[in-house]
Amino acid sequence: MPTAFITGITGQDGAYLAKFLLGKGYHVIGMIRRSASSDVIGERLRWLDVLDKVTLVDGNLTDLSSLIRLLQEHKPEEVYNLAAQSFVATSWQQPLVTGNVTGLGVVNMLEAVRIALPEARFYQASSSEMFGKVQAVPQSETTPFYPRSPYAAAKLYGHWMTVNYRESFGLHASSGILFNHESPLRGIEFVTRRITDGVARIKLGLKDRLTLGNTAAKRDWGHAGDYVEAMWLMLQQDAADDYVIATGRTASVEEFCRLSFAAAGLAMDDYIHTDPALLRPAEVELLLGDPGKAARVLGWKPRVSLEELAAEMVAADLKRLSR
Ligand code: NDP
Ligand code: GDP
């Protein structure tokens, strides 16, 4: 039974990846950071019914010694580095934490692999935010980067360090440049979940409006369940490489709203308000990925449509709130 080590297992992707790998017969070790709320920290794993099937171990991406010890002890064949301060808006409020965890944290994990387990295969969770003020449409593995937030700058550092450790030390280190991916387990602060939670509250009479920032921004949104499969496929290749993972379809925040309200049988225009306080200091206006290389080399294709994604998220939020 192969062993996989996941940082960020309590997050959206960590939960889906854990479920996916368990289904493939892996022993899954998930690193969690010590928290006073440890009774609720496994909520996403519980939602997917895998909390009692994974082994949770204490560590922190900012503490290199903890990472080395964990790799020495568990000797995983595959390391998935998903942990990060992952919310763009927060990265302007906490640029140093973001740099420490989302940027330097990657180097801690790479160093731990290099020192303790250089034969392990390594996955880095890079981001389409690195394209930022996009230099070409659609964006592919060869599109130049132009980060527009402390988060994106930190991710770009982590991405290049992954490439560098592959080229310098021969690590089997791959970087997945994933476009936005969502699910019922998406953090509540991200726009899709903010929308589907808002729609569900309006539907249930708990709220009478939904306040958003820039509704013209466009994203290439996929389903997290589809995207974790791409992470695994990257680590099954003979040679490590970098891949864009996207659907190839872009839609505005407004469009995602319309689909979500429609899924609840409501007309969006009656409920949407905008608040300039929710605008960002610098915006990423348009993301659209070209997943051609992933299709060709990995044989990967997204399965869930945007309509299905919005409907699944609204249904899950209605279920949560009705409890
Ligand atoms: P989440 O925000 O849901 O999860 C982040 C995870 O990182 C949580 O488990 C969190 O733990 C953990 N974490 C944060 N800081 C530390 C730390 N110092 N030490 C150890 N663990 C830490 O993110 P997602 O699941 O959505 O995303 C997974 C990864 O993919 C992230 O790196 C994200 O930036 C990247 N990504 C995501 C995209 C998306 O659309 N979802 C798109 C492109 C990239 P805790 O529960 O304790 O907070
Ligand atoms: P991001 O692409 O990682 O920044 O993911 P988000 O879901 O946080 O934001 C996606 C887009 O939605 C960005 O362009 C935001 O400016 C825009 N947006 C509009 N209103 C909101 C809002 O109320 N919350 C968030 N998080 N984003 C919003």
pLDDT of residue 156: 99
pLDDT tens track for 61-82: 999 999 999 999 999 999 999 9
pLDDT tier at 297 (50, 70, 90 boundaries)? Answer: very high
DSSP 122: E
DSSP 203: H
Among the ranges given (37-41, 47-51, 232-236), the one the predictor scored with the smallest mean pLDDT: 37-41
Beta strands in the chain (DSSP E): 3-7, 27-32, 55-58, 78-81, 121-127, 172-178, 181-182, 210-212, 218-219, 222-223, 242-245, 251-252, 272-274
**What whole-number distance in Å separates Cα of residue 293 and Cα of residue 17?**
21
pLDDT tens track for 102-135: 999 999 999 999 999 999 999 999 999 999 999 9
pLDDT tier at 21 (50, 70, 90 boundaries)? Answer: very high
Q: Average pLDDT, stretch 241-268?
A: 98
Closest ligand by atom to 186 CA: 1
pLDDT of residue 38: 80
pLDDT > 90? residue 323: no
Nearest residue CA, atom 15 of ligand 1?
A: 84
Q: At a CB cut-off of 8 Å and minimum separation 6, what does 134 contact? A: 143, 146, 284, 285, 286, 287
pLDDT > 90? residue 90: yes
Instruction: List the domains of the chain with CATH numbers.
Output: 3-181+221-245 (3.40.50.720), 187-219+250-287+304-322 (3.90.25.10)
pLDDT tens track for 203-236: 999 999 999 999 999 999 999 999 999 999 999 9
Tell how far the Cα of 190 is from the centroid of ligand 2, in angstroms: 6
Give yes or no for residue 10 CB within 6 A of ligand 1: yes
Closest ligand by atom to 149 CA: 2
CA 201 to chain centre: 25
pLDDT of residue 54: 98
Ligand 2 atom index nearest CA of 284: 14
pLDDT > 90? residue 39: no
- Token pair 């064949």: residue: 77
Q: Average pLDDT, stretch 284-296?
A: 98
Token pair of 277 as six digits: 């306080």
Catalytic residues: 127, 129, 151
Asked if 105 and 122 count as a contact pair (C-beta separation under 8 A), the reply is no
**What whole-number distance in Å separates Cα of residue 2 and Cα of residue 202?**
46
Residues flanking ligand 2, CB < 6 Å = 88-89, 129, 180, 189-191, 194, 212-215, 217, 219, 253, 278, 280, 283-284
Query: DSSP per residue over 68-121, as a string?
Result: HHHHHHH--SEEEE--S---HHHHHH-HHHHIIIIIIHHHHHHHHHHHH-TTSE
